[in-house]
Amino acid sequence: MKLWGGRFETGPSEVFEQFSGSLHFDRKLLFADCQGSQAFARALAKQGILTGSEADQLVEAFRQIGEEAADPKYLDAANDEDVHTFVIRKLQDKAGALSAKIHTGRSRNEQVSLDVRLYLRAACDSISEQLADLMGGLLALAHKHSEAVIPGYTHLRRAQAVLWPHYLLAYFEMFSRDVERVRQTRARIDVMPLGSGALAGSGFPFDRQAIAGDLGFPSITRNSMDVSGDRDFALDFLYSRSLIMLHLSRLAEDWILYSSEEFNWMTLGDGVTSGSSLMPQKKNPDSLELIRGKSGRVFGDLTSLFVTMKGLPMTYNRDMQEDKEPLFDAFHQTSGSLSMARAVAESIVLNPAVPAAATEESWVIATDLAEELARNGVPFHRAHELVGQFVLESIRAGKRPADWTPESLAAFAPEFKPQMARLLSPAEGMKSREIPGGTGPSSVAGALREAAARLEQLRSSLG
């Protein structure tokens, strides 16, 4: 069936039908379409277009359609133009002539906006839960090795010693900003568009606030033309997913490196790694590589909708049908990647001795020493220069920090005092970083407690 046709002398060509049909992907909106149409049937009853019992009959028919669609084969033989057309054909099968009234004063342009909003709203809720689960996984991993010391890097060169939990809490912060961003995105999605008509506003004086209340939206859209041409909320969704994937991709890259033979800090569980068909010894971090790979795909989804929307004349244009596949793809890839990252986090076993040795054999203590000199009155630039010379001399002599004694340190330059030798041990310098947000052991312990409390709060807000 078609929702249009009277004006045409012949039907659409097969090639056009094939080309323009969207049912094979927008079928994902079926539940949202039925939910929205139930509310719309109730609104039509208030207008006197449907009687109360007619509305009840249609609401029940939509319920049945939603239920039957749980069977994955339900849509297989269908070749309707889109999911909205499919649902109305099914409605016709169930409610006969009465079904012809359902589209009174409604356009697919607003219907598609409504359905996508309903779908994305639920998607935001499930992503927030998955983010919370991953954040919980990171905290568990932090507690598993709460005292481990690792080199922190800049330029992928050993920079300063940090606590392992401090490193993990950095990702906790990124994901907690993601939760916040998902919440903001959800709020912009959560606005009810019905009543906008095709572009000019519906010709029937629906109580739009009541429809919003019926569907659990706190507010209604303000301009019918905006509704018809707007996909900002979809772009917000794709952007917030893209940042989640960006964070996951960087985490994946870290763990690919840290679990390599070259780093050898950690082992990934057998359950999240795969072997080689040729090289029997291999245990590859494919799960993490796929997360990194899928991030590019999700950025592509965002870019694709940006480019689709760019330069479209007001208001609706059929180009906008191309919004759905990137949205569904971004949702599914992000959701899969979050589950995968959590499973990897649960499988990780850190070998704390290896990163600890990396801090001891390198010069991550240099800054600690220079700052201690500054604390003792040496101007920092002079202290920096002096410690730089000390490092250079050590490298020339093949000495590691532990090879210096309090006496030999003090003999290197008059500014060095024997008691400064304690800073040659990487775990010592961290104690001077007891600043909020720093890697000092008490700061980190406090940050861990605070993160756990925030996660608890987030979990209870998700219900």
- Active site members: 155, 276
- Given a contact cutoff of 8 angstroms between Cβ atoms, the answer to whether 387 and 429 are in contact is no
Q: How far is the CB of 314 from ligand ARG (least distance, A)?
A: 14
Q: What's the closest the beta carbon of residue 93 comes to ligand ARG, in angstroms?
A: 21
Which C-beta is closer to ligand ARG: that of 82 or that of 360? 82
Give me the least distance between CB of 312 and ligand ARG, in Å please: 12
Query: How many Cα atoms occupy the beta-carbon half-sphere of 149 within 13 Å?
Result: 21
26 vs 372, which CB is nearer to ligand ARG? 26
Q: Please state, in angstroms and rounded to a whole number, the distance separating the CA atoms of residues 350 and 258.
A: 9
**CB-based burial, 76-101: b 16+ in 10 Å, e otherwise:** eeeebbbbbbbbbbbbbebbeebbee
Contact status: 320 vs ligand ARG (CB under 6 A): yes
Q: One symbol per residue from 287 to 316: x for binding ligand ARG (CB under 6 A), - otherwise; what is it?
A: -----------------------------x
- CB closer to ligand ARG, 108 vs 121: 108
Using an 8 Å Cβ cutoff, are 291 and 248 in contact? yes
Tell me how far apart the alpha carbons of residues 266 and 397 are, in angstroms, rounded to a whole number: 32
Q: Min. distance of Cβ 281 from ligand ARG in angstroms?
A: 51
Query: b/e for 191-200, b at 16 or more Cβ within 10 A?
Result: bbbbbbbbbe
Given CA atoms 244, 326, 343, 289 in this order, what sign does their dihedral have?
negative
Q: Say whether residue 162 binds ligand ARG (CB under 6 A).
A: no
Q: Which of 318, 377, 398, 460 binds ligand ARG (CB under 6 A)?
A: 318
CB 353 within 8 A of CB 265: no
Applying CB under 6 A, the site for ligand ARG has a residue count of 10
- Which residue, 29 or 451, has its beta carbon nearer to ligand ARG? 29
Question: What are the residues whose beta carbons fall under 8 Å from the beta carbon of 190, sequence distance 6 or more?
Answer: 117, 121, 217, 218, 219
Q: Which of 225/257 has CB closer to ligand ARG? A: 225
CA dist 183 → 179, 231, 260 (Å): 6, 18, 36
Minimum CB distance to ligand ARG smaller for 316 or for 416: 316
Closest CA to 296 of 255, 231, 342, 250: 250
Minimum CB distance to ligand ARG, residue 8 (Å): 14
Stretch that binds ligand ARG, among 48-56, 318-326, 383-391, 419-427 (CB under 6 A): 318-326
DSSP 230: -
Give the residue from 114, 328, 325, 121 showing the smallest Cα distance to 228. Answer: 114
Binding mask 433-462 for ligand ARG (x = CB under 6 A): ------------------------------
Residues 25-44 that bind ligand ARG (CB under 6 A): 26
- Which residue's CB is nearer to ligand ARG, number 26 or number 214? 26
In the complex, the smallest distance separating the C-beta of residue 112 from ligand ARG, rounded to whole angstroms, is 5
Would you say 115 and 130 are in contact if contact means Cβ atoms under 8 Å apart?
A: no
Alpha carbon 166 to chain centroid distance?
Answer: 22
Binding flag, residue 329, ligand ARG (CB under 6 A): no
The smaller minimum CB distance to ligand ARG, of residues 155 and 318, is found at 318
Tokens of 402: 């532990």
Contacting residue, 267, 304, 321, 351, with ligand ARG by CB under 6 A: 321
The residue among 197, 300, 299 whose CA lies nearest residue 244 is: 299
Determine if 22 is a binding residue for ligand ARG (CB under 6 A).
Answer: yes
Task: Report the site for ligand ARG in 63-122 (rule: CB under 6 A).
Answer: 82, 108-109, 112
DSSP designation for 445: H
* Identity at 286, one-letter amino acid code: D
Can you state the percent helix, strand and coil of the chain, rounding each to 5?
Answer: 65, 5, 30
We find the least distance from the C-beta atom of residue 123 to ligand ARG, in angstroms, to be 17
Is residue 167 within the footprint of ligand ARG (CB under 6 A)? no
Q: Which residues bind ligand ARG (CB under 6 A)?
A: 22, 26, 82, 108-109, 112, 316, 318, 320-321
